[in-house]
Amino acid sequence: MPTRTTTKQGNLMFLRIAITLQTVAVFVQAITAGLLLSSPHGGALHSAGAYTAFVVTLVHLVVAILVWRPGGGSPRPILYAVGFLGLVLAQVALGIAHVKTLHVPLGVLLFGMSVLQLVWIWTGRRAHLAAAA
C-alpha cells in the first residue's frame, strides 16, 4: 500500500506534466503567431494552437482539482489554474476580435506566468515536500 508521501509525489508528477504541457502549448503559440505574419497558412496553425492551449489549460485545472482533493493539499494550484484559464479565455476573445494591442502583451504575460509556475512546480515544491517528509 502506498504511503501518503508516495501518493503526494505521484500526484505532484501529474501536476508537473500538466504545467509543462501548458507551457509548451503557450510557447508554440508564439511560434505560430510568427507564422501568422509570414505564411498564408499561419492563421490556421495559430487557431489550432489556440484550441490546443485552451484544452491543455482545462486539463491543468482538472489535474489541479484531482491532485488537491484526495491528498488534502493546498488549493493554491487550483486558484492559479482558474486564473490562468480566465486569462486564456480573454486571450482567445481578444484574438478573435483582432485586438492585437492587448492580445500580444497578454500572450507574453501568459508565457511568463506559465514559465514561473513551471519553475515553481519543478523546484520549489520539491524542497517543500522533502521538508514535509
- Condensed to tens digits (0 to 9), the pLDDT of residues 32-43 reads 999 998 988 899
Cα gap 43→34, rounded to integer Å = 10
Q: Residue 73 class from Cβ within 10 Å (0-12 exposed, 13-18 middle, 19+ buried)?
A: middle
What integer pLDDT is reported at residue 68 of this predicted model? 82
Q: What percent of the chain has pLDDT over 90?
A: 67
> What is the spatial distance between Cα 6 and Cα 1, in angstroms, rounded to a whole number?
10
The residue among 34 and 125 whose pLDDT is bigger is 34
Report the pLDDT value the prediction gives residue 110, as an integer from 0 to 100. Answer: 97
133 pLDDT band, cuts 50/70/90, is: very low
Q: Where are the domains of the chain?
A: 4-128
Is 5's pLDDT higher than 60? no
Q: How far is 16 from 22, CA to CA, in rounded Å?
A: 10
Instruction: Please say if the pLDDT value at position 130 is more than 60.
Output: no
Q: Which residue has the cell 511568463?
A: 112
The span from the CA of 101 to the CA of 57, in Å, is 23
Total-model pTM: 0.83
Alpha carbon distance 83, 106 (integer Å): 13
